[in-house]
Amino acid sequence: MRVIRYENEKGLPVLAALTEQSEVYNLSYKGFMELVEYAQNTNQTPLSLLQEVIKDEQPEKLKVEELTLLAPIEAPEVWAAGVTYERSKDARNYEATAGKMDASTFYDKVYDAERPELFMKSTAARLVGPNTEVYIRSDSTWQIPEPELGLVINKTGDILAYTIGNDMSSRDIEGENPLYLPQAKIWKHSCSIGPALLLADAVENPYQLDIHCRIFRNGQKVVEGFANTNQLKRKYDELVSYLLRDNEIFDGTVLLTGTCIVPPNEFTLLDGDLIEIEIPGIGVLSNPVKAPVNKQAALY
């Protein structure tokens, strides 16, 4: 069972349940956290609550592919974990050593350390949803998407749902100096999530989720990658526990768990590209790429 948000004909957001058959059932809750709170107050799980709600209801006469989807949750904050997959460690080493793959760096230490790398990625005002443009920086020449599984948590760290996240990154800025990480990770429209929330209690094994990434340019597929969450070095609860240490976390926070798919080192995103990140069971997060006006001028 999934939860989506979409914009209705009046321009208002609507929360809805989405079944495995892609049937849409509108819900009366203002947002996902209100649904979770009601389930808790009535001693139900979110899954059992939605199953009860739709049992005697008729689905809306809507096709999900024709809806204007919004980010499935208005996350107050999005955090991210880094160097949680070996592929990510190798890529970060390549950035930091100008391509000397045999050189070890502090990223090796992070990969093997007890403490994970965690950083702030986005706020609600900077976050975008499906089919909305993600931006590339005007002062970077090496930029990529980072496909990731996202955990939706409450203020006490309970994992409520899973979603797809795109942690856009500027590899040249980060590789120049690790202290530039915030600039390599945070800018306008540098993070997207969606298209749905997959309820945690509907997932049998969250360490067996396939992740696909496809990048299209001028209608042609130029990058394709595949991985599985079973390659993750750390457990989700471990990442969440460190995020909560001496920190205040808000209901509906999203924690991205790290990327396991990195495009070839010679690749960089360009204005007009299309990024698709798919996790079966959640859906496809699709975002076109937009360059700032001054960046576009520099390309031609």
Query: How far is Cα 209 from Cα 152, in angstroms, rounded to an integer?
Result: 16
Q: Nearest CA to 170 among 160, 158, 179, 180? A: 180
For residue 76, the model assigns a pLDDT of 96
For residue 251, the model assigns a pLDDT of 98
Query: How far is Cα 158 from Cα 237, in angstroms, rounded to an integer?
Result: 9
Cβ distance 203 to 192 under 8 Å?
no
Query: What is the CATH T-level fold of the domain 77-299, as seen in this structure?
Result: Fumarylacetoacetate hydrolase; domain 2 (3.90.850)
3-state helix, strand, coil in the chain (%, to 5): 25, 35, 40
For residue 300, the model assigns a pLDDT of 41
For residue 293, the model assigns a pLDDT of 74
Q: Nearest CA to 273 among 236, 249, 299? A: 299
Record the tokens describing residue 258, joined without a space: 């790290």
Ordered by start, the domain boundaries in the chain are: 2-70, 77-299
For residue 83, the model assigns a pLDDT of 82
For residue 297, the model assigns a pLDDT of 47
Where the chain has pLDDT below 50, the residues are 297-300
| The pTM of the whole model exceeds 0.85 | yes
Q: Is the peptide bond before 195 cis (omega within 30 degrees of 0)?
A: yes
Query: How far is Cα 227 from Cα 261, in angstroms, rounded to an integer?
Result: 7
Identify the H or E element spanning 181: helix 181-185
Residue 151 sits at φ, ψ, to 5 deg, of -100, 130
Residue 39 sits at φ, ψ, to 5 deg, of -60, -45
69 CA to centre of own chain = 15
